[in-house]
């Protein structure tokens, strides 16, 4: 697989971004005050980890859809919301999980345009469930990659 993306057939990078997110959330939970710079630092780290893991999940889901026989160019042309819907059709996530991922994606799109503190704090509320969903998705993706190897 010369020239192939190094995360082509594994979820290690996705799990690494999830671990980073988890550590940022734990650090926030241990802070006594939310009005100091350490809160801002950990909140920003959590949001960045969320963004990175969402982008990684997008790439991995596309690879999984191709493993199901999706035409590579057609899969590449899908918007992420359609990638999520196709993932649901292939059993990588159930309908409720697809809906949550659609909310995560909408939130991610908003973080690119709204850097306000209120919005960042709203994003934090999504992250514990998101972390759980990422960790549930990883083995489902890995199973697809292992089956197609």
Q: 47, 7, 15: which is closest to 28 by C-alpha?
A: 47
Identify the CATH assignment for 12-148 out of 3.30.70.360, 3.90.1150.10, 1.20.120.330, 3.40.1280.10.
1.20.120.330
pTM of the model as a whole: 0.88
pLDDT tens string, the chain, 149 residues long: the values are 344 444 457 899 999 999 999 999 999 999 988 888 999 999 999 999 999 999 999 999 999 999 998 799 999 999 999 999 999 999 999 999 999 999 999 998 776 555 677 778 889 999 999 999 999 999 999 999 999 87
Which contiguous run of DSSP H or E holds residue 89?
helix 80-89
């Amino acid at each position: 697989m010369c020239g192939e993306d190094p995360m082509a057939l594994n979820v290690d990078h996705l799990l690494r971004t999830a671990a980073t997110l988890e550590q940022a959330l734990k650090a926030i939970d241990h802070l006594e005050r939310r009005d100091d710079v350490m809160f801002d630092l950990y909140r920003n780290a959590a949001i960045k980890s969320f963004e990175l893991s969402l982008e990684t999940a997008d790439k991995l889901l596309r690879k999984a859809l191709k493993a199901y026989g999706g035409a590579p160019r057609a899969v590449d042309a899908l918007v992420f919301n359609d990638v999520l819907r196709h993932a649901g059709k292939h059993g990588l996530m159930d309908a409720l999980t697809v809906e949550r991922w659609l909310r995560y994606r909408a939130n991610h799109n908003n973080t690119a345009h709204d850097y306000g503190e209120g919005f960042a704090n709203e994003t934090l509320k999504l992250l514990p469930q998101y972390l759980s969903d990422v960790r549930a998705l990883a083995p489902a993706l890995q199973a697809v990659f292992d089956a197609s190897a």
